[in-house]
Amino acid sequence: MAIADVSHHSIHSLISLSGRHALVTGGARGIGRAIAARFAEAGADVVLADVRLAEAETAATEIAARFGRRVVAIEADVTHPDTVAALVDRAEERLGPLDIWVNNAGIYPSRPLIEIPVDEWDRVMDLNVRGVFLCTREIGRRWVAAGRGGVLINIGSTGAFKTGPGVAHYITSKHAVVGLTKTAAVELGPHGIRVLGVAPSMTQTEGRRDFLASVNAPGMDEFVAEMEQRTPLGRIGVPDDVARVVLFCASDLSMLMTGSTLLVDSGEGVL
């Protein structure tokens, strides 16, 4: 199924998600919540899927009130295939057929490589890789069967293009997500399904604050300040910096793009 040529469409119509239904995993807070808000602002109805149901319900209520769209919260652990299938069923019962899927759920523990317990390694791979695979497979199957196309966006990390100490499992998982994004784009493209990645660098989220508190590393504030000073754009990201790029990927503005992973990194990658 060939992707449409939208050259004759207005900018307003190209960025609009009016009439579309989107799902964001890990949508209760941080980057996921910011993505959901921008989608709703652009006219989409949105599902926030998260293991933190109470937080997701609060976020859904606030976003719906702000933008006048249908926004619902569904509890889901995306590491289990039956749960993922049930998530799609429930989402489509609430909103209708999905057009956009964002794999955002992930974790970011820190530990030296030789000290990583096997269960911690497995937990990172389960959510950051297995969860992305299961969601991609499930929604991909349904979109192929329906013959109506779709857009799938994987939230990766600049860690997929570099490395660093203390996060071997996280770095490995994000390299895998880039590979899965490319492969899914090749296999699903003939069915009119676009697959893109968005890779943020350090972003000020609740998860990031929890991580910094958990490692309790001296000088971490100084590290963040130093990183901001040495990036070309002079600051680290906030969730909406990432959400705006995801909106671009989900919209018809990026109609002829698939398989790419876009960096949102304040220029860190050129250093």
Per-residue pLDDT band for 217 (boundaries 50, 70, 90) equals low
Q: pTM value?
A: 0.94
pLDDT in tens, 195-207: 999 999 888 866 5
pLDDT in tens, 120-147: 999 999 999 999 999 999 999 999 999 9
Taking the CA atoms of the chain, what radius of gyration do you get in angstroms?
18
Amino acid identity of residue 243, one-letter, is: A
Using CA atoms, how far residue 232 sits from 33, 75, 203, 266, in Å, is 27, 39, 16, 6
Task: Identify which has the larger pLDDT, 231 or 101.
Answer: 101
Angle separating helix axes 206-215 and 30-41, nearest 10 degrees: 170
Annotation: CATH topology of 11-202+239-264: Rossmann fold (3.40.50)
pLDDT in tens, 49-81: 999 999 999 999 999 999 999 999 999 999 999
Backbone region of residue 140 per phi and psi (left: phi > 0; alpha: psi in -120 to 50; beta: other values): alpha
Virtual torsion, Cα 204, 206, 207, 212, nearest 10 deg: 70
By C-alpha distance, which of 126, 216, 155 is closest to 30? Answer: 155
Instruction: Tell me the mean pLDDT in the region 90-112.
Output: 96
The pLDDT, as a whole number, for residue 145 is 98
Domain ranges (residues) in the chain: 11-202+239-264
Percent of the chain whose predicted confidence (pLDDT) is above 90: 82
- For residue 64, give both structure tokens: 């719906």
Decide if 261 contacts 178 (C-beta within 8 A). Answer: yes
Q: Which residues form the catalytic set?
A: 157, 170, 174
